[in-house]
Amino acid sequence: MERPDPKFAIIGAGMSGILAAIKLQEAGLDFTVFEKADRVGGTWRENTYPGIACDVPSHIYSYSFELNPEWGYLSSPGEEVQRYFEMVAEKYGLDAHIRFGEAVSSAAWDGEAWHVGTDNGFSGRFDWVIAATGVLHHPKRPDIDGLDDFAGPIFHSAQWDHDVEFEGKRIAVIGNGSTGTQLTGALGGRTEKLSLFMRTAQWVVPLEQVEYSEEEKQAFRTDADLLRELHESLSDSFHEGFASNIIDAETQMVRDMEVVCTDALETRIADPVLREKLRPDYTLGCKRLVVSHNFYDAVQLPSVEVVTDAIDRLESGGVRTADGVLHEVDIVVLATGFHVDSFMRPMDIHGVDGVLLDDVWKERPSAYLALGIHGFPNFFMLNGPNSPVGNFSLIATAELQFSYIMQLVEMWRSGQADFVHPADEAAARFEAERVEAAKKTVWATGCRSWYLDDRGIPFAWPFPFDRFKAEMAEPKLGDYITH
């Protein structure tokens, strides 16, 4: 017996939440999006620091059904990416379905449906919950003594204070991952002095910034096939070439990329002392690759210094390093990443028999196929734990995941299932296979990175893109509890 059309709660109006909303709207289904902020965009709304840019080609960081002929650059600045998501949301009229300024605080399964509550008192009943909360949205402050002792402005890169003036000031950037290198490239020539505090050298891919001409954009506007072909060719080369090969440290592609990156370091950094500071001593790909067109230029400016001595503490006047030197600065920026294991937390989420998600994830978050959790029926995540955050395009990932979820929804709608959640045995089997595969990836070759969980095991999807596509093509119904 067919059921009435379901009601969906979508948590988050970032890239994945917008995708889910559009697809549910196209299917004619009832949905409400809960967004803690006052507009869409997710990480691109939150992160507005100077130099922020997408580190994959813009034409594949686009919905496959909403390609964008207006991208100005090969790897677009953050404000351009944010405009894209705002444009898409407006085109599809999503604002009418989004409750802005409402952070979900709780969700509880009553045996038949979910009761979702927000921090301003809203409470509603929904048949399905889609958590599109993202990964990079809980800023991580470093464990450094004296953070509160610094007398000047100090803030995380994801909480940028646009009222602070940098011209003519001395700035400390703590952290040299993608954010730290982008900040250095953008601010290096604008400040009296920029001190980049670097714990570990990065493999820097010297990808030059390409700006699309008006003629090229006009061609994309008038020839949909040309735009589609570009999207597909870039996607194929990225996923089948780079993304699948970077997992294995022994591939020829990794060795070739090491040659390219080393050659750039050798030829572009003139000072031999600085060159050795910037030379990584681990396998390329162990940490997330840094893509930059201007970092090597910026670090050679007279006003920029790269500090590799460990930070001892912050004092009122600056940063004291382990060698006893006080680096006097006016502003401190913490480019120190995010709590990547948070996902929906700190929301209070209760599943079957009142089980609390915090208890299920007490050791660490995990999910069957990066989507579902045993004991939490009709509750699925986009880009959840163990998704391919380290290598695939997150938009391509989310599109495949959502298509998979909708197949489960159709089972429920047709009456084939009373509810749907992964069997405990299936989830445990997948997790065991994933862990063993992760131990053999490039991310487990000896460096410290945010890809590693509390055991030192990479948490990202450890299989090739083909495996991901195959898993997402059709659910294995024997791996689910449905009645």
Report residue 128: phi and psi, to 5°. -135, 145
The CA–CA distances, whole Å, from 201 to 181, 250, 276 equal 11, 21, 9
Residue 390: per-residue pLDDT: 67
| Token pair belonging to 275 | 């060159």
CA dihedral 426, 429, 435, 437 (to 10 degrees): -110
For residue 477, report the phi and psi dihedrals to the nearest 5 degrees. -65, -25
**Tell me, what's the pLDDT at 254?**
86
Q: Are strands 128-131 and 7-11 parallel, antiparallel or unpaired?
A: parallel
- Alpha-helical (H) ranges within 142-199 are 178-187
The contacts of residue 253 (CB under 8 Å, 6+ apart) are: 241, 242, 245, 246
Give the CATH fold of the 154-203+250-334 domain: FAD/NAD(P)-binding domain (3.50.50)
Q: Is the peptide bond before 388 cis (omega within 30 degrees of 0)?
A: no
Residue 136: the pLDDT is: 80
Domains 7-138+339-481 and 154-203+250-334 share a fold: yes
pLDDT, one tens digit per residue, over 303-341 is 999 999 999 999 999 999 999 999 999 999 999 999 888
* Fold observed for domain 7-138+339-481: FAD/NAD(P)-binding domain (3.50.50)
| C-beta of residue 457 within 8 angstroms of C-beta of residue 435 | yes
For residue 246, what pLDDT is reported? 77
Our CA angle for 294, 299, 305, nearest 5°, is 155
The pLDDT value recorded for residue 113 is: 97
pTM summary value: 0.95
**Longest CA span, the chain:** 74
**pLDDT < 70 positions in the chain:** 1, 243, 390
Domain definitions of the chain by residue range: 7-138+339-481, 154-203+250-334
Specify the 3-state DSSP secondary structure of 155.
strand
Look up residue 270 and give its two tokens: 């003139």
